[in-house]
Copies of this chain bind each other. A is one copy, B any other.
Amino acid sequence: MSRSKMADVARAAGVSKMTVSRALREGSVIAPATRQRILAVVERLGYAPEEAARNLSSRRSGFVAALVPSLNNPQFAETVRALTETVEGSGLQVLIGHTNYEAAREERLVGEFLRRRPEALVVTVDGHSAATRRMLAAADVPVVEMWDWPTRPVRHVVGFSNKDAARDLTRHLIERGYRRIAFVGETESDGTRGAKRRDGYAAAIRRSGLGPPRIHNHAPPPISMLQGRDALREVLRQWPDVDAVMCVSDPCAFGVLTQAQAQGIDVPGRLAVAGFGDFEVSRCCLPALTTVVVDAAEIGRRAGLLVASLRGRGNEGAVRKQELIRIPVRVEPRGSTGG
Protein backbone atom coordinates (compact mmCIF):
# COMPACT_ATOMS: atom_id res chain seq x y z
CA MET A 1 0.00 0.00 0.00
CA SER A 2 1.55 3.19 -1.20
CA ARG A 3 1.55 6.51 0.56
CA SER A 4 -1.77 8.26 0.09
CA LYS A 5 -1.96 11.51 -1.79
CA MET A 6 -4.28 14.43 -1.87
CA ALA A 7 -6.50 12.89 -4.53
CA ASP A 8 -7.08 9.88 -2.27
CA VAL A 9 -8.18 12.10 0.56
CA ALA A 10 -10.45 14.03 -1.79
CA ARG A 11 -12.11 10.89 -3.04
CA ALA A 12 -12.59 9.49 0.45
CA ALA A 13 -14.10 12.74 1.66
CA GLY A 14 -16.23 13.25 -1.43
CA VAL A 15 -14.75 16.62 -2.35
CA SER A 16 -12.26 17.94 -4.89
CA LYS A 17 -8.49 18.10 -4.40
CA MET A 18 -8.70 21.83 -4.14
CA THR A 19 -11.02 21.64 -1.15
CA VAL A 20 -8.60 19.32 0.58
CA SER A 21 -5.82 21.75 -0.17
CA ARG A 22 -7.86 24.50 1.44
CA ALA A 23 -8.71 22.41 4.47
CA LEU A 24 -5.02 22.00 5.12
CA ARG A 25 -4.07 25.62 4.95
CA GLU A 26 -4.93 28.08 7.70
CA GLY A 27 -6.75 31.16 6.57
CA SER A 28 -8.42 29.86 3.44
CA VAL A 29 -12.17 30.04 2.92
CA ILE A 30 -13.82 26.74 3.71
CA ALA A 31 -16.85 25.63 5.68
CA PRO A 32 -15.79 24.55 9.18
CA ALA A 33 -17.84 21.35 8.89
CA THR A 34 -16.13 20.40 5.62
CA ARG A 35 -12.73 21.07 7.08
CA GLN A 36 -13.48 18.85 10.06
CA ARG A 37 -14.62 16.05 7.83
CA ILE A 38 -11.54 16.32 5.64
CA LEU A 39 -9.16 16.50 8.58
CA ALA A 40 -10.72 13.32 9.93
CA VAL A 41 -10.05 11.56 6.64
CA VAL A 42 -6.50 12.93 6.59
CA GLU A 43 -5.98 11.49 10.03
CA ARG A 44 -7.48 8.16 9.13
CA LEU A 45 -5.39 7.75 5.98
CA GLY A 46 -2.25 9.11 7.60
CA TYR A 47 -1.98 11.55 4.74
CA ALA A 48 0.96 13.95 4.71
CA PRO A 49 1.34 16.47 1.89
CA GLU A 50 4.37 16.21 -0.33
CA GLU A 51 6.44 19.32 0.22
CA ALA A 52 8.20 19.09 -3.12
CA ALA A 53 4.92 19.34 -4.99
CA ARG A 54 3.76 22.18 -2.80
CA ASN A 55 7.00 24.01 -3.42
CA LEU A 56 6.90 23.60 -7.14
CA SER A 57 3.33 24.66 -7.47
CA SER A 58 3.28 27.51 -5.03
CA ARG A 59 6.79 28.68 -5.71
CA ARG A 60 7.72 28.83 -2.08
CA SER A 61 10.10 26.41 -0.54
CA GLY A 62 9.47 27.11 3.12
CA PHE A 63 13.23 27.18 3.57
CA VAL A 64 15.60 29.71 4.91
CA ALA A 65 19.21 28.88 4.16
CA ALA A 66 21.81 29.81 6.76
CA LEU A 67 25.56 29.56 6.47
CA VAL A 68 27.91 29.74 9.43
CA PRO A 69 31.64 29.08 9.57
CA SER A 70 31.30 26.26 12.07
CA LEU A 71 28.59 24.51 14.02
CA ASN A 72 31.08 23.48 16.62
CA ASN A 73 31.10 26.95 18.07
CA PRO A 74 28.66 27.81 20.82
CA GLN A 75 28.18 31.31 19.49
CA PHE A 76 27.16 30.32 15.99
CA ALA A 77 25.17 27.42 17.35
CA GLU A 78 23.26 29.85 19.52
CA THR A 79 22.64 32.18 16.60
CA VAL A 80 21.36 29.29 14.51
CA ARG A 81 19.16 28.10 17.34
CA ALA A 82 17.59 31.51 17.80
CA LEU A 83 17.19 31.98 14.05
CA THR A 84 15.53 28.60 13.71
CA GLU A 85 13.12 29.12 16.56
CA THR A 86 12.24 32.61 15.42
CA VAL A 87 11.34 31.71 11.86
CA GLU A 88 9.61 28.44 12.60
CA GLY A 89 6.75 30.50 13.92
CA SER A 90 6.22 31.56 10.32
CA GLY A 91 6.23 27.97 9.12
CA LEU A 92 9.78 28.18 7.82
CA GLN A 93 12.55 25.66 8.20
CA VAL A 94 16.22 26.51 8.32
CA LEU A 95 18.68 24.73 6.10
CA ILE A 96 22.01 24.99 7.86
CA GLY A 97 25.41 24.78 6.25
CA HIS A 98 28.90 25.18 7.61
CA THR A 99 31.78 26.62 5.63
CA ASN A 100 34.60 25.36 7.84
CA TYR A 101 36.01 28.87 7.46
CA GLU A 102 36.81 28.00 3.84
CA ALA A 103 35.84 30.51 1.15
CA ALA A 104 35.73 27.80 -1.52
CA ARG A 105 33.40 25.66 0.51
CA GLU A 106 31.19 28.65 1.16
CA GLU A 107 31.04 29.37 -2.54
CA ARG A 108 29.90 25.85 -3.32
CA LEU A 109 27.28 25.86 -0.58
CA VAL A 110 25.83 29.20 -1.59
CA GLY A 111 25.33 27.79 -5.08
CA GLU A 112 23.72 24.61 -3.82
CA PHE A 113 21.48 26.41 -1.41
CA LEU A 114 20.26 28.86 -4.02
CA ARG A 115 19.05 25.95 -6.18
CA ARG A 116 16.68 25.10 -3.37
CA ARG A 117 15.04 28.47 -3.87
CA PRO A 118 15.20 29.47 -0.22
CA GLU A 119 12.99 32.31 0.91
CA ALA A 120 16.06 34.02 2.27
CA LEU A 121 19.76 33.41 2.54
CA VAL A 122 21.54 34.24 5.79
CA VAL A 123 25.33 34.27 5.65
CA THR A 124 28.09 35.01 8.11
CA VAL A 125 30.39 37.80 7.03
CA ASP A 126 33.74 36.12 6.72
CA GLY A 127 35.84 37.01 3.71
CA HIS A 128 33.58 35.85 0.84
CA SER A 129 35.18 34.94 -2.46
CA ALA A 130 34.51 37.14 -5.46
CA ALA A 131 32.22 34.51 -6.97
CA THR A 132 30.30 34.28 -3.72
CA ARG A 133 29.81 38.02 -3.66
CA ARG A 134 28.54 37.91 -7.23
CA MET A 135 26.05 35.17 -6.43
CA LEU A 136 24.82 36.98 -3.35
CA ALA A 137 24.40 40.24 -5.22
CA ALA A 138 22.56 38.53 -8.07
CA ALA A 139 20.37 36.34 -5.86
CA ASP A 140 16.66 36.88 -6.32
CA VAL A 141 16.01 36.15 -2.66
CA PRO A 142 16.69 38.39 0.33
CA VAL A 143 20.25 38.14 1.62
CA VAL A 144 21.17 38.84 5.24
CA GLU A 145 24.77 39.19 6.33
CA MET A 146 25.42 38.74 10.01
CA TRP A 147 28.13 38.77 12.67
CA ASP A 148 30.13 41.66 11.31
CA TRP A 149 29.60 45.06 9.80
CA PRO A 150 30.64 44.70 6.18
CA THR A 151 32.36 47.58 4.46
CA ARG A 152 30.03 47.24 1.49
CA PRO A 153 26.86 45.36 2.49
CA VAL A 154 25.19 43.18 -0.13
CA ARG A 155 21.72 43.86 1.25
CA HIS A 156 20.61 43.45 4.85
CA VAL A 157 22.95 43.34 7.83
CA VAL A 158 22.57 42.17 11.42
CA GLY A 159 25.89 42.68 13.07
CA PHE A 160 28.46 44.77 14.84
CA SER A 161 31.95 46.04 14.15
CA ASN A 162 34.47 43.44 15.23
CA LYS A 163 37.20 45.96 14.65
CA ASP A 164 35.67 48.56 16.93
CA ALA A 165 34.98 45.99 19.61
CA ALA A 166 38.55 44.72 19.54
CA ARG A 167 39.81 48.29 19.68
CA ASP A 168 37.67 48.96 22.73
CA LEU A 169 38.94 45.83 24.41
CA THR A 170 42.53 46.81 23.71
CA ARG A 171 41.89 50.26 25.16
CA HIS A 172 40.48 48.61 28.25
CA LEU A 173 43.74 46.72 28.70
CA ILE A 174 45.74 49.90 28.22
CA GLU A 175 43.60 51.73 30.75
CA ARG A 176 44.16 48.92 33.19
CA GLY A 177 47.85 49.69 32.93
CA TYR A 178 49.03 46.96 30.62
CA ARG A 179 51.70 48.13 28.19
CA ARG A 180 53.19 45.11 26.45
CA ILE A 181 50.06 43.58 24.97
CA ALA A 182 50.28 40.72 22.50
CA PHE A 183 47.54 39.50 20.19
CA VAL A 184 46.99 35.86 19.28
CA GLY A 185 45.23 35.68 15.95
CA GLU A 186 44.55 33.47 12.99
CA THR A 187 46.60 32.78 9.89
CA GLU A 188 45.12 32.71 6.40
CA SER A 189 42.65 35.35 7.37
CA ASP A 190 41.73 38.11 4.99
CA GLY A 191 38.54 40.04 5.46
CA THR A 192 37.51 37.58 8.14
CA ARG A 193 36.14 38.48 11.52
CA GLY A 194 39.42 37.39 13.05
CA ALA A 195 41.30 39.79 10.82
CA LYS A 196 38.98 42.62 11.80
CA ARG A 197 39.66 41.97 15.44
CA ARG A 198 43.36 41.95 14.81
CA ASP A 199 43.04 45.24 12.94
CA GLY A 200 41.16 46.76 15.87
CA TYR A 201 43.89 45.66 18.24
CA ALA A 202 46.64 47.03 16.00
CA ALA A 203 44.87 50.34 15.54
CA ALA A 204 44.49 50.84 19.28
CA ILE A 205 48.13 49.95 19.95
CA ARG A 206 49.43 52.33 17.29
CA ARG A 207 47.14 55.09 18.47
CA SER A 208 48.57 54.74 21.96
CA GLY A 209 52.22 54.96 21.04
CA LEU A 210 52.99 51.61 22.61
CA GLY A 211 55.41 50.65 19.86
CA PRO A 212 54.74 48.08 17.15
CA PRO A 213 51.88 45.66 17.69
CA ARG A 214 52.89 42.22 18.94
CA ILE A 215 50.91 39.94 16.67
CA HIS A 216 51.23 36.18 16.70
CA ASN A 217 49.15 34.53 14.00
CA HIS A 218 48.99 31.05 15.33
CA ALA A 219 46.91 28.82 13.07
CA PRO A 220 43.97 28.89 10.66
CA PRO A 221 40.60 29.50 12.29
CA PRO A 222 39.15 28.28 14.51
CA ILE A 223 41.86 28.33 17.16
CA SER A 224 41.10 25.70 19.74
CA MET A 225 41.71 25.74 23.46
CA LEU A 226 44.66 23.41 23.11
CA GLN A 227 46.12 25.55 20.35
CA GLY A 228 45.75 28.48 22.72
CA ARG A 229 48.12 26.71 25.07
CA ASP A 230 50.75 26.37 22.35
CA ALA A 231 50.19 29.95 21.34
CA LEU A 232 51.10 31.25 24.78
CA ARG A 233 54.39 29.36 24.70
CA GLU A 234 55.27 30.95 21.41
CA VAL A 235 54.21 34.38 22.55
CA LEU A 236 56.39 34.07 25.66
CA ARG A 237 59.34 32.95 23.58
CA GLN A 238 58.95 35.83 21.16
CA TRP A 239 58.16 38.56 23.69
CA PRO A 240 59.28 37.35 27.14
CA ASP A 241 58.26 40.64 28.74
CA VAL A 242 54.65 40.52 27.58
CA ASP A 243 52.19 41.59 30.30
CA ALA A 244 48.87 40.91 28.56
CA VAL A 245 47.58 38.56 25.88
CA MET A 246 44.51 39.37 23.90
CA CYS A 247 43.01 36.52 21.90
CA VAL A 248 40.94 36.37 18.78
CA SER A 249 38.36 34.29 20.62
CA ASP A 250 37.43 32.92 24.03
CA PRO A 251 38.46 29.29 23.51
CA CYS A 252 41.93 30.46 22.55
CA ALA A 253 42.01 32.71 25.60
CA PHE A 254 41.02 29.85 27.85
CA GLY A 255 43.95 27.85 26.50
CA VAL A 256 46.27 30.77 27.15
CA LEU A 257 44.91 31.06 30.68
CA THR A 258 45.40 27.40 31.53
CA GLN A 259 48.86 27.35 29.98
CA ALA A 260 49.85 30.34 32.08
CA GLN A 261 48.55 28.60 35.19
CA ALA A 262 50.33 25.39 34.24
CA GLN A 263 53.58 27.36 34.05
CA GLY A 264 52.91 29.03 37.38
CA ILE A 265 52.35 32.43 35.83
CA ASP A 266 49.89 34.40 37.91
CA VAL A 267 46.83 35.71 36.10
CA PRO A 268 46.17 38.60 36.26
CA GLY A 269 49.12 39.43 38.53
CA ARG A 270 51.89 38.86 36.04
CA LEU A 271 49.85 38.33 32.90
CA ALA A 272 46.42 39.54 31.85
CA VAL A 273 44.32 37.50 29.43
CA ALA A 274 41.35 38.58 27.37
CA GLY A 275 39.15 36.83 24.85
CA PHE A 276 36.31 37.67 22.51
CA GLY A 277 32.76 36.40 22.34
CA ASP A 278 31.62 35.58 25.88
CA PHE A 279 31.60 31.80 25.67
CA GLU A 280 30.30 30.09 28.78
CA VAL A 281 33.72 28.77 29.70
CA SER A 282 34.91 32.35 30.13
CA ARG A 283 32.32 33.09 32.78
CA CYS A 284 32.94 29.86 34.60
CA CYS A 285 36.73 29.58 34.71
CA LEU A 286 39.03 30.94 37.43
CA PRO A 287 39.74 33.77 37.09
CA ALA A 288 36.86 34.59 34.77
CA LEU A 289 37.99 35.88 31.41
CA THR A 290 37.57 39.48 30.36
CA THR A 291 35.88 39.42 26.98
CA VAL A 292 33.67 41.16 24.49
CA VAL A 293 30.10 40.16 25.20
CA VAL A 294 28.16 39.39 22.04
CA ASP A 295 24.53 38.38 22.25
CA ALA A 296 24.66 35.60 19.69
CA ALA A 297 21.03 34.67 20.21
CA GLU A 298 19.97 38.25 19.56
CA ILE A 299 21.75 38.18 16.22
CA GLY A 300 19.84 35.06 15.24
CA ARG A 301 16.58 36.46 16.52
CA ARG A 302 16.88 39.74 14.67
CA ALA A 303 17.93 37.97 11.49
CA GLY A 304 14.92 35.70 11.88
CA LEU A 305 12.51 38.57 12.39
CA LEU A 306 13.97 40.31 9.37
CA VAL A 307 13.56 37.21 7.23
CA ALA A 308 10.02 36.65 8.43
CA SER A 309 9.08 40.24 7.68
CA LEU A 310 10.44 39.97 4.15
CA ARG A 311 8.24 37.13 2.97
CA GLY A 312 4.97 39.01 2.75
CA ARG A 313 3.03 39.84 -0.39
CA GLY A 314 5.11 42.92 -0.94
CA ASN A 315 7.94 40.58 -1.69
CA GLU A 316 9.17 42.33 -4.78
CA GLY A 317 9.51 45.63 -3.00
CA ALA A 318 10.89 44.13 0.19
CA VAL A 319 13.63 42.23 -1.59
CA ARG A 320 15.16 45.46 -2.72
CA LYS A 321 14.95 47.25 0.60
CA GLN A 322 17.94 47.29 2.88
CA GLU A 323 17.88 47.04 6.64
CA LEU A 324 21.01 47.58 8.68
CA ILE A 325 20.63 46.35 12.23
CA ARG A 326 23.40 47.06 14.67
CA ILE A 327 23.72 44.66 17.59
CA PRO A 328 25.23 46.28 20.68
CA VAL A 329 28.29 44.60 22.15
CA ARG A 330 30.34 45.57 25.18
CA VAL A 331 33.63 44.91 26.89
CA GLU A 332 33.10 43.02 30.12
CA PRO A 333 35.99 43.36 32.56
CA ARG A 334 36.51 40.24 34.66
CA GLY A 335 39.14 38.72 36.86
CA SER A 336 41.63 37.86 34.14
CA THR A 337 42.49 41.53 33.61
CA GLY A 338 42.32 42.48 37.27
CA GLY A 339 38.52 42.76 36.92
Contacts and interface: CB of A to CB of B under 8 A. Distances in A.
Contact of A115 (B50, B72, B114, B224): B50
B226 A115 contact: no
Given A53-B56, A255-B284, A115 B81 contact: no
A305 interface: no
A116 B286 contact: no
Given A48-B115, A77-B77, A93-B95, A280 B251 contact: yes
Given A226-B280, A254-B281, 15 more contacts: A50-B115, A50-B117, A52-B117, A71-B71, A72-B74, A72-B77, A74-B74, A84-B97, A93-B112, A224-B280, A226-B284, A254-B284, A255-B284, A258-B286, A261-B286
Interface in A50-103: 50-53, 55-56, 61, 70-74, 77-78, 80-81, 84, 93, 95-98
Given A98-B84, A261-B286, A280-B224, A56 B50 contact: yes
A262 B262 CA distance: 17
A-B residue pairs, 9 tightest by C-beta: A52-B55, A72-B77, A225-B284, A71-B77, A52-B56, A51-B115, A96-B96, A51-B116, A225-B280
Contacts of A77: 70-73, 77
A258 B283 CA distance: 11
28 contacts: A48-B111, A48-B114, A48-B115, A49-B115, A50-B56, A51-B115, A52-B52, A52-B56, A52-B116, A53-B56, A70-B81, A71-B71, A72-B74, A72-B78, A73-B77, A84-B97, A84-B98, A96-B96, A224-B280, A225-B284, A226-B283, A226-B284, A228-B284, A254-B281, A254-B284, A258-B284, A258-B285, A261-B286
A8 interface: no
Interface of A is mostly: helix
Contacts of A74: 72, 74
Contacts of A229: 284
A3 interface: yes
Contacts of A56: 50, 52-53, 56
Contacts of A262: 286
A193 to B, nearest CB: 19
Interface of A: 3, 46, 48-53, 55-56, 61, 70-74, 77-78, 80-81, 84, 93, 95-98, 111-112, 114-117, 138, 140, 224-226, 228-229, 251, 254-255, 258, 261-262, 280-281, 283-286
A95 B98 contact: no
A81 B53 contact: no
A149 to B, nearest CB: 24
B225 A281 contact: yes
Contacts of A112: 93
Contacts of A251: 280
A49 B73 CA distance: 33
A281 B283 contact: no
Contacts of A286: 258, 261-262
Contacts of A49: 115
